[in-house]
Chains A and B, each alone.
Chain A
Amino acid sequence: MLRRFFPILHVQGMIILVFGLSMCVPLLLAELTRDGAQHAYDVAAMITVGSGMLLWLVGRHWRRELKTRDGILLVVSTWTLLPGFAALPLIIYMPELSLADAYFEAMSGLTATGATVLSGLDDLPNSINLWRAQLHWLGGLGVIVLVTAVLPLLGVGGRQMYKAEIPTPMKDQKLTPRMAETAKGLWVVYIILTTLCIGVLWALGMSFFDAVVHGFSVMSLGGFSSHDASLGYFNSLQLEIAVAVFALIAGVNFATHFAFLRGRRLSYYFKDPELRWFLGLVLTSGVVLALLLWQRDVFLDFPSALRYAMFNTISIATTLGFATTDYGHWPFFAGLWLLFLCSFSTGAGSTGGGIKMMRAILLYKQVYRELKKLIHPNAQIPLRLGNDIVPNKVVYAVLAFLFIYVASIVSLSFVLSFTGLDVLTSFSAIVACINNTGPGLGQVGPATTYAVLSDFQVSVCTFAMLLGRLELFTLLVVLTPAFWRR
């Protein structure tokens, strides 16, 4: 079993090393501003860089070209080890934080979930808040590689579908060259958009530090903020509009952005089969919820109903997770609908969570096809997406994905409910975590944190976040005995 790890040690060491180097950013900030968290980063950076070097050196002996199975293992071990290192500065600075909570917070950062166990954020050192948001941003980088380069090669849950969209040759079966090439292009887009977002937020009145923290959070669709009141702290319409727009941009497939930047033609956006559904669904929901809230007298005038409904709908549906008001107090239907949206609205190559719009469309079309087949049992009905005909293999993988997704939500909710949480809290916490959204309803609603959960419950939520981020199968396959057999 241990043998399986040898070939990936080398790469794993490199990833941890780079991750350790990224700690220099908050370290530098802490040193410059003397905010009291310097020693936390000193120690954490040393441990991380040291472990990375060690693994790299040890792993050099077994270095070889990575195969599919190595790729799966590398993804899983990266996403379980990095949160451990990422939690170091938090634990060192806040020794009262339990191990489960610190790991949860770091996992929530790296999976771009945004669920937090911390309160009193406004009083934390700036460098700690920066580190949390930076985790989101780095996680977003990781996700982009994951969903556009690694998972399609592994064929997880119908991911083969998105191969065609990425502008690189596909002959090569080896993981590394392809990963590097695809990732490079998309990272450039991601960096450009982040810079733009930070600039806009800064120009609209945020302090530079807040602009960086929230820019990181928005582009990765994470949800950590440097204020307990989240974006409600600023109470500024322009900022809300800017954040909503950038959240929608981050919810679109980055390959489409890449194609647009390279070709400078808007037609790429029109051709994206997910985009129209994503925008249509999210914006319609925003308007309908605004009408509902206005009509039920939650807000007395329509403009403010529209403002709050639109922002929170976009924020939750894109799995960002900022809140400008406590929508836990809205009529129940509204909160459930938001959770429903976040489970499928974002695009397949975006930094968002959930099952992705691509899969939702395929599921819808497949059901329509099944109904047609009942009427014409012998007909061959192809399933089309945009201009492509979708192979049956992909459709079935998507159906299986949905089953595992539902089964995971049901069984993890049962586990939480068994430990004594009420239905609403346990169900919404799992949905919010598996979709990498952040705030749920009930005791984990937008006005509260996950700190009320016991260590065990927090660990279940941590697992849910990781499961959702790694598109279920990647993590589950590592847990099967067959994976470890020769």
Chain B
Amino acid sequence: MPLRQRVFHNLLPMLHVLGMIIGVFGLSMLFPLLISELTGDGASHAFEEATLITLGTGALLWLIGHHWKRELKVRDGILLVVLTWLLTPLFAALPLLDYLQGMSFTDAYFESMSGLTTTGATVLSGLDNLPPTINLWRTQLHWLGGMGVIVLVVAVLPLLGIGGRQMFKSETPGPMKDDKLTPRMAETAKGLWVVYLLLTLALIAIYAFLGMSLMDALIHSFSVMGLGGFSSYDASFGHFDSVPLEIATVVFAMLAGINFAMHFLAWRGRSLKPYLLDPELRWFFGIVLASCLVLALMLWQSNFYLDFPTALRYATFNVISIATTLGLANTDFGQWPLFTGLWMLFLCSFTTSAGSTGGGIKMMRAVLLYKQIHRELNLLIHPRARIPIRLGTQWVPDKILYAVLAYFFMYVSSIVLLSFILSFSGLDVLTAFSAIVACINNTGPGLGQVGPSTTYAVLTDLQTWICTFAMLLGRLELFTLLVVLTPAFWRK
């Protein structure tokens, strides 16, 4: 079969499911539409048109795809994930394009990709003057993206065995005998979504209690729980300038950075034990909190802040926000000594846990990499020794370690390669490198020209597309996207 036919043939079985996903996504637009109608903020026509188009397309795909409906296999699963993450930003961009007439398609797609991948990098400024529902829609994308990520990382990717993800199979509740995707996905996802929903509701209530308006509470809770980073203010979280609100944000960002399966287990068993047994948690908390303290001391000592409490406040908020890949800022940390900015970017590339809404290579992989190196060194001394690697109470099979090592190599090559492209297109090193790191880790603000006080609007169309690609690459854990780009994938 010629390539075009093969591609077509591969796409048919998933049209049905894809139509359903797009349909449900269209339904979710009713939420901002309703609020817009009620408050009359002027964006209602944008949401009307977008909802109609999205629902219509979804229904059409669903009807057409009905003919080819069959049980999905592994390869269909990969393709479905990639297509979903490529197409939904398209529909998500519709309200933005409709309302903001001057916005280019490139920017709108970037913005909605940044929303759905929970990155939080924005090309928009003057957020304070946008209709509240547009801002709500942006962060709702974060929240929906967070839901999608939870399904992706706890249910889909482990089955596909991407980058050592098999490791996390055993932690999720539910039988594992079945090789078919759908029943398992549904079961696992349901439990975790309930946790996600409950935590979000709790944060909304806390924000409202601490004095935020309901709309702001909604917007920022969506942003925090998805570990996204969009805000309804240009000054980001600095707008509120309130310590209690910052503390609430920091606590919930840490919670969202923990494996949701742990929350689920703790909630079901009504005990804190799962947290204590989690091999990632202690590293996550240890590294992030130690960094907060050290950076606070550094900022204080270099007289950037004159008293230690202020230094601690700003260091803590921004370090936790960036390390968890949230990306809200309450001050322009681009002005801090360069070392601090680099250190924060470094943290965001590995601190969040494997079943969380955060980005980066995940703490699990970092811990395994560290242990693997330790083993390699021991093997040099005792060449014939068999040294097993343990994580928590489990033995880690070699296969997983090697997948993790390969994953790390891909991750580094992607960063190097994409930074080179940005630097070739004329950006300075710091901007090019930090933009790619911030995007591939789904963090948001970088350094230099894309620092916390600026936006990604300075980039050219090509550069924006590269960043869009980086966000998608990071969110789909590299291999999911890359495998679709190989010819072997499309062969029979």
A contact residues vs B (CB 8 Å cutoff): 68-69, 72, 154-156, 332-333, 336-337, 340, 363, 366-368, 370-375, 377, 392, 395-397, 399-400, 402-404, 406-407, 410, 414, 417-418, 422-424, 473, 476-477, 480, 482-483
Q: Determine, out of B99-107, B147-155, B368-376, B466-474, the stretch whose residues face the partner at the interface.
A: B368-376
**B377's contact among A366, A371, A392, A482, by CB below 8 Å, is which?**
A482
The answer to whether A423 touches B430 (Cβ under 8 A) is yes
Residues of chain B within 8 A of A69, CB atoms compared = 381
Nearest-CB residue, chain A, relative to B411: A406
The interface residues of chain A lying within 8 Å CB-to-CB of B339 are 414, 417-418
B272 within 8 A of A: no
Q: Interface size (B, Cβ < 8 Å)?
A: 46
Show 30 A/B contacts (Cβ-Cβ < 8 Å), sorted by A. Answer: A68-B383, A332-B423, A332-B428, A333-B423, A337-B420, A340-B420, A366-B406, A367-B406, A367-B409, A370-B403, A370-B410, A374-B161, A377-B74, A396-B405, A397-B376, A399-B408, A400-B373, A400-B376, A402-B408, A403-B408, A403-B409, A404-B373, A404-B376, A406-B408, A406-B412, A414-B339, A482-B377, A482-B378, A482-B381, A483-B381
Most-contacted residue by chain A among B160, B369, B401, B429 (CB, 10 A): B429
15 new A-B contacts, CB < 8 A, other than A397-B376, A400-B373, are: A68-B381, A333-B424, A336-B420, A336-B429, A367-B413, A371-B488, A374-B161, A374-B483, A395-B402, A396-B401, A396-B405, A399-B406, A404-B373, A414-B343, A480-B378
For the complex, what is the distance from the CA of A396 to the CA of B342, rounded to whole Å? 30
| Min C-beta distance of A369 to chain B, whole Å | 8
The listed residue with most A CB atoms (<10 A of its CB), out of B339, B380, B409, B489, is: B380
A403 to B486, CA, bound (A): 25
Bound CA–CA A368/B378 (angstroms): 29
B residues near A156, Cβ cutoff 8 Å: 380
Q: How far is the CA of A316 from the CA of B301 in the complex (A)?
A: 40
Min C-beta distance of B81 to chain A, whole Å: 12
Q: Once the chains are docked, how many angstroms separate the CA of A414 from the CA of B349? A: 15
- Per the bound structure, the CA–CA distance linking A418 and B298 in Å amounts to 10
- Ranked nearest first, the 9 interchain pairs of A and B with the lowest CB-CB distance are A399-B405, A370-B406, A400-B376, A477-B380, A374-B483, A333-B424, A477-B377, A371-B483, A417-B339
> Does B239 sit at the interface, judged by CB under 8 A?
no
* List of B residues within 8 angstroms of A422 by Cβ: 338
User: Is B440 at the interface (CB under 8 A from chain A)?
Assistant: no
Query: C-beta contact mask, B25-64 vs A, less than 8 Å → 1, else 0?
Result: 0000000000000000000000000000000000000000
Out of A154, A366, A480, name the residue touching B409 (CB < 8 Å). Answer: A366
Chain B residues contacting A402 (CB-CB under 8 Å) are 405, 408-409, 412
How far, in angstroms, from A44 to B420 measured CA to CA in the complex?
A: 47
B433 CB → nearest A CB, Å? 8
A375 close to B428 (CB less than 8 A): no
B189 contacts the other chain (CB 8 A): no
Q: How far is the CA of A336 from the CA of B408 in the complex (A)?
A: 21
> CB of B190 within 8 A of chain A?
no
> A406: nearest residue on chain B (CB-CB)?
B412
**Chain A residues positioned under 8 Å from B78 (CB to CB):** 374
Nearest-neighbour CB distance to chain B for A326, whole angstroms, equals 18
Nearest residue (CB) in A for B378 is A482
CA separation between A72 and B420, bound complex, in Å?
Answer: 37
A477 to B401 alpha-carbon distance, docked (Å): 20
Residues of chain A with a CB closer than 8 A to B390's CB: none
Q: Is B282 an interface residue (CB 8 A)?
A: no
Q: What separation, in Å, do the CA atoms of A11 and B378 have in the docked complex?
A: 25
Q: Please give me the residue from chain B that is nearest to A399 by CB atom.
A: B405
Residues of B within 8 A of A (CB): 74-75, 78, 160-162, 338-339, 342-343, 346, 369, 372-374, 376-381, 383, 398, 401-403, 405-406, 408-410, 412-413, 416, 420, 423-424, 428-430, 479, 482-483, 486, 488-489
Contacts of A399 in B (CB 8 A): 402, 405-406, 408-409
Per a CB cutoff under 8 Å, which of B383, B398, B405, B488 touches A155? Answer: B383
Neighbouring A residues of B479 by C-beta, 8 Å: 370-371, 374
Contact A371 B482, beta carbon cutoff 8 Å? yes
Q: Complex Cα distance A424/B162, Å? A: 34
For B160, the closest partner residue in chain A by CB is A374
Q: Contacts of A400 on B, CB cut-off 8 Å?
A: 372-373, 376, 405
Q: Are B416 and A340 in contact (CB under 8 A)?
A: yes
Contact in complex: B429, A424 (CB < 8 Å): yes
Complex contacts, A414 vs chain B, CB 8 Å: 339, 342-343, 346
Q: Assuming the A-B contacts A336-B420, A370-B479, A477-B381, are A423 and B162 also in contact, with contact meaning beta carbons closer than 8 angstroms in the complex?
A: no
Chain B residue with the shortest CB-CB distance to A413: B342
> Could you tell me the distance in whole angstroms from the C-beta of A85 to the nearest C-beta in chain B?
27
Cα distance A69–B160 when bound, in Å? 42
What residues on B are CB-neighbors of A418 within 8 Å? 339
CB-CB under 8 A from A155, the residues of chain B are 379-380, 383
Give the CA-CA distance A368 to B381 in the complex, in Å.
Answer: 31
Q: A349–B429 Cα gap in the complex (Å)?
A: 33
What chain A residues lie within 8 Å of B402 (beta carbons)? 392, 395-396, 399
Which residue of chain A is the closest to B372 with respect to CB atoms?
A: A400
CB distance from B180 to the nearest CB of A (A): 15
Q: Which residues on B sit within 8 Å (CB–CB) of A404?
A: 373, 376
In the bound complex, what is the Cα–Cα distance between A476 and B338 (angstroms)? Answer: 29
| CB of A87, distance to nearest CB on chain B (Å) | 29
Residue of B nearest to A369 (CB): B406
- With A and B bound together, what is the CA distance between A400 and B409 in angstroms? 9
A333 touching B383 in the complex, CB below 8 Å, given contacts A374-B483, A399-B409: no
Please, which residues of chain A bring their CB within 8 A of the CB of B409?
A: 363, 366-367, 399, 402-403
In the complex, which residues of chain A have a beta carbon less than 8 angstroms from the beta carbon of B413? 367
Q: Give complex CA distance A485, B400 in Å.
A: 30
Chain B nearest CB, measured from A298 CB (Å): 14
Q: Which residues of B contact A423 (CB under 8 A)?
A: 338, 342, 429-430
Q: How far is the CB of B485 from chain A (nearest CB, A)?
A: 9
* Contact of A72 with B380 in the complex, beta carbons under 8 Å: yes
| CB nearest neighbor in A for B434 | A423
Chain B residues lying within 8 Å of A366, measured Cβ to Cβ, are 406, 409
> B173 to nearest A CB, angstroms?
24
| Contact A367–B410 (Cβ < 8 Å) | yes
Nearest-neighbor residue (CB-CB) of A154 within chain B: B380
| Cβ–Cβ < 8 Å partners of B423 in chain A | 332-333, 336
Q: How far is the CB of B266 from chain A (nearest CB, A)?
A: 33
Residues of B close to A337: CB separation below 8 A: 420
CA distance in complex: A407, B405 (Å) = 13
Residue of A nearest to B163 (CB): A370
Of the candidates B343, B381, B412, B428, the one having the most CB atoms from chain A within 10 angstroms of its own CB is B381
Which A residues lie within 8 Å of B424 (CB)? 333
Residues on B with beta carbons closer than 8 Å to the beta carbon of A363: 409
Q: Shortest Cβ distance from B153 into chain A, in angstroms? A: 16
| Chain B residues in 8 Å Cβ range of A368 | 486
Give the residue name and chain of the A residue nearest to B416 (CB): A340
B407 CB, nearest partner CB in chain A, Å: 8
* In contact, A410 and B369 (Cβ under 8 angstroms): no
CB distance from A372 to the nearest CB of B (A): 6
Q: How far is it, in angstroms, between the C-alpha of A476 and the C-alpha of B479 when the chains are bound? A: 31
User: Is the pair B161, A473 in contact by a Cβ cutoff of 8 Å?
Assistant: no
Bound Cα distance from A483 to B413, whole angstroms: 32
User: With A and B bound together, what is the CA distance between A68 and B428 in angstroms?
Assistant: 47
Measured between beta carbons, the chain B residues less than 8 angstroms from A403 are 369, 372-373, 405, 408-409
Q: Kindly report which residue of chain A lies nearest to residue B380, judged by CB atoms.
A: A477
Say whether B429 contacts A480, CB under 8 Å: no
Return chain A residues, CB-CB under 8 Å to B412.
402, 406
Give complex CA distance A11, B369 in Å: 36
Central interface residue in A154, A333, A406, by most chain B CB within 10 Å: A333
| A368 to B485 Cα, complex, angstroms | 11
Q: Tell me how far the C-beta of A153 lies from the nearest C-beta in chain B, rounded to whole angstroms.
A: 10
Whether the Cβ atoms of B429 and A332 lie closer than 8 Å is yes
| B343: chain A residues within 8 A (beta carbon) | 414
Alpha-carbon distance A473/B483, docked complex (angstroms): 32
Q: Is the Cβ of B342 less than 8 Å from the Cβ of A377?
A: no
Residues of B within 8 A of A417 (CB): 338-339, 342
Q: Which B residue sits closest to A484, measured CB to CB?
A: B381
